[in-house]
């Protein structure tokens, strides 16, 4: 199990109140801070979580990830919006690029960057282009041919409804229970194929990329 996954599991247990005691210390670094949270379970065992945050208190990830992004790549991480709680975009002044990332991939965009159909940062500019894009995305999924697609009445995007399925009766207590693989998604039209003419455009590309690989 990776360090990042262990951190996520421990944080979930902490949020669920599974630890009887906790202590917090803050380490100050030039480009980010690290929050050290020491947790003690009912048996007296200790575990320390290390959470790196930007100077605005927004979560970056484990310290190793913050060091790579901030110190090695020169990126200033930030969240996409106030609704997000994890940094997934950031500006690099040295390269004059906006970067977008997730645990899967990272890429930088600057003035002159181009997005073409098939790129991770591509978002169809019409509902028909979105249908083509997302049908291709789900084609290799289990029951991918059973996803339902609907163009929104105002043609601003599409709605994607995943197929229902029956849970496997692993524990003998959920036989016949119907669930869904994912929630219903609404995908809004984007810019299609386009070229960044300003750094603000490059930021939009970085956001689209981050959302795509999340």
- The H-or-E segment that residue 75 falls in is strand 75-78
CA distance 106 to 45: 37
pLDDT in tens, 88-109: 999 999 999 999 999 999 999 9
User: Does residue 91 share a domain with residue 174?
Assistant: no
Nearest to 92 by CA among 102, 105, 78, 103: 78
**Under 8 Å CB-to-CB from 32, ≥6 apart: which residues?**
52, 53, 54, 55, 60, 66, 70, 77
Do 40 and 100 reside in the same domain of the chain? yes
* Range 141-155 average pLDDT: 93
Residues 129 and 82 in one domain: no
Kindly report the pTM of this predicted structure: 0.80
Q: Are residues 188 and 90 in the same domain?
A: no
Boundary (domain end) residue, out of 64, 94, 112: 112
The candidate with the shortest Cα–Cα distance to 109, out of 195, 213, 212, is 195
CA separation (Å) from 139 to 32, 38, 131, 132?
Answer: 41, 45, 12, 11
CA distance 143 to 137: 12
Pair 7, 107 in one domain? yes
Say if residue 125 is in the same domain as residue 75: no
The average pLDDT across 136-141 equals 90
Residue 212's pLDDT is what? Answer: 92
pLDDT digits (tens, 9 = 90+) for 113-130: 999 999 999 999 999 999
Range of the domain at 146: 115-213
- Total tally of structural domains belonging to the chain: 2
Asked if 127 and 50 sit in the same domain, the reply is no
């Amino acid at each position: 199990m990776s360090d990042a996954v262990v951190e996520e599991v421990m944080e979930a247990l902490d949020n669920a109140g599974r630890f009887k005691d906790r202590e917090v210390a803050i380490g100050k670094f030039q480009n980010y801070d690290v929050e050290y949270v020491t947790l003690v379970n009912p048996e007296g065992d200790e575990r320390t979580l290390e959470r790196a945050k930007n100077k605005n208190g927004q979560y970056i990830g484990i310290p190793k990830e913050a060091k790579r992004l901030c110190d090695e790549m020169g990126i200033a991480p930030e969240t996409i919006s106030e609704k997000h709680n994890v940094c997934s975009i950031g500006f690099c002044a040295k390269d004059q690029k906006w970067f977008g990332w997730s645990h899967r991939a990272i890429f930088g965009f600057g003035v002159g960057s181009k997005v073409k159909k098939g790129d991770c940062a591509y978002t169809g500019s019409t509902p028909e282009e979105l249908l083509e894009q997302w049908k291709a995305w789900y084609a290799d999924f289990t029951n991918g041919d059973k996803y339902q697609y609907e163009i929104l009445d105002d043609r601003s995007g599409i709605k994607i409804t995943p197929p229902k399925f029956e849970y496997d009766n692993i524990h003998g207590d959920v036989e016949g229970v119907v669930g869904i693989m994912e929630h219903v998604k609404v995908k809004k039209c984007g810019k299609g194929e386009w070229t960044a003419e300003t750094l603000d455009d490059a930021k939009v590309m970085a956001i689209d990329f981050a959302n795509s690989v999340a």
